[in-house]
Amino acid sequence: MHDVLIIGSGLGGLECGALLAQRGLKVLVLESSHQPGGCMQSFRRGGQHYDTGLHYVGGLAPGQALHKAFGQLGLLDLPWQRMDEDFDHVIIGGRHFAFHQGYDAFVESLAKDFPHQREALKSYVQRLQNIIASDMEVCAYDYLRQTFSDDLLLNVVSAAAMKTELRRDTLPLFNFAHTCSSYIESSWRLRGDGNLLVNRLISIISEADGEVRTNSKVVHLTEEDGRITKATCADGSSYEAGYFISDIHPAMLCQLLEECPSVRKAFRRRMTAAENTCGMFTVQLCIKPDALRYFAHNVFVYDKPNVWTMTEENEPVKGVMISSRVPEDGSDVLRQIDLLTPMPWYECEEWTDTKVGHRGDDYKAFCQRKAKQCIELAEQYTPDLHDMVEQCYTSTPLTYRDYLGTPEGGAFGMRKDCRMPMLSFHSVNTPLPNLLLTGQSIILPGIEGVTMTAFETCNKIIKFNI
């Protein structure tokens, strides 16, 4: 008998496991895949480790958004490296802009190019520092239109928010502001792959006599007297616990609850009918030795000021994020670059019924064409990048769906809608008092959002001060 059973070992599940194990609870984490970590895991290709979703983290300095949380989790002493003061570069229509760490410096860096918008920039960063719950009902795009009279600046301040789904009609200011604010406080990369973070959380659970089991797919949850009592896996094994936490997509959780009478149709409908965010197309490049120096900042390149509409248009690629990997040998020789661009599900729908490694030549040609477009756009910042590439690997929303079990390969969980916040923002509670939710579909996506949600989930079991 376990105190807490966690379904899924993504960042939220492992953080919940670590927090509760540290408080003396007996924790079991069940992961359906052969590798734990979800979007935080890394994989090996051609002798190099590549990250799935970890590129940079915001707000790790003392007094900032994630510092206390990561301190409680035991993650602060990982080899975090602070990025350049101009941590994000933006290229739009051939013009180059830079975001500086620190709210005042952020304003000054952009006011040099937009002096007539200085007061608007001050108002903007003030809003970022004072996000409130009612911002869930405010349309981010409408707020930006009201704040900035210069359309180019509106696109510039939005450019780095490619870390969430930029939809003009639905994205709440609450999500947009959280996505941007902590990175302006301070921005960091991990020297090493995402498995450093994953393995640290697993070691915390293990050292407290908890366990993380892979290849353990939960297929059924049993309800007795209005509470979940048991989780049954595909291999027939079953486990009892006092509390259950789901770190899988809520629609997939509903499949496990089909025989639970306390889960009403309204709850199932709300979770299964919710729209998912778009996915990402990722190009992971191994760079030839000594071909390129490491740069400790990200670059966001757009062919024109179309940051909020690029996913509404078809090929070619309209915008790309360039993220470089910190050299682990202490040198300044860059060996890895990730290129990312949003990718709606409809672009890969024709291969819906295929699996990894069996999608056919048309799919390979599609990925090669899209990778070429990403590289060409990235060459606005790194000329002749294609000549520096030693190996190239790609992934689409189909890849995320098959490896991570994410419906439609959504990169940011279920879509939040400012027009109906009560339906799209979810509580960590469920109709069953001992079944809780966590993960990026619940409140906010991203490392900060998932971490804050993990604390909210665990607070339902043991009180944490954060």
50-64 pLDDT tens trace: 888 899 999 999 999
Q: Which residues of 126-146 are buried (b: 16+ CB within 10 A; e: fewer)?
A: ebbeebeeebbbbbbbebbee
| 112-155: pLDDT as tens digits | 999 999 999 999 999 999 999 999 999 999 999 999 999 999 99
In this prediction, residues 287-298 reach a mean pLDDT of 96
Q: Is the peptide bond before 316 cis (omega within 30 degrees of 0)?
A: yes
Supply the pLDDT for residue 466.
64
Tell me the percentage of the chain whose pLDDT exceeds 70: 100
Supply the angle between the helices 140-147 and 118-128 in degrees, to the nearest 10.
150
Nearest CA among 444, 391, 431 for reference residue 45: 391
Q: Which residue has the tokens 């998932």?
A: 450
- The answer to whether the beta carbons of residues 106 and 122 sit under 8 Å apart is no
Count CB-CB contacts under 10 A for residue 261.
9
On whether the pTM is more than 0.85, the answer is: yes
Q: What percent of the chain has pLDDT over 90?
A: 88
* Token pair of 436 as six digits: 């809780």
- 382 pLDDT band (50/70/90 cuts)? very high
Domains identified in the chain and CATH numbers: 2-54+193-274+417-459 (3.50.50.60), 99-188 (no CATH), 278-409 (no CATH)
pLDDT at 380 over 90: yes
Sheet architecture: strand order including 298-302: 95-99, 88-92, 298-302, 319-324, 336-343, 279-287, 389-395
Confidence of residue 47 (pLDDT cuts 50, 70, 90): confident
Residue 45 — very low, low, confident or very high, per pLDDT cuts 50/70/90?
confident
Tell me the per-residue pLDDT of 412-440, one tens digit each, with 9 for 90 and over.
999 999 999 988 889 999 999 999 999 99
Chain segment 181-237, per-residue pLDDT in tens: 999 999 999 999 999 999 999 999 999 999 999 999 999 999 999 999 999 999 999
DSSP for 328-382, written as a single string? TTSSSB--EEEEEEEE-GGGGGGGTT--TT-S-HHHHHHHHHHHHHHHHHHTTTS
Q: Residue 48: what pLDDT?
A: 82
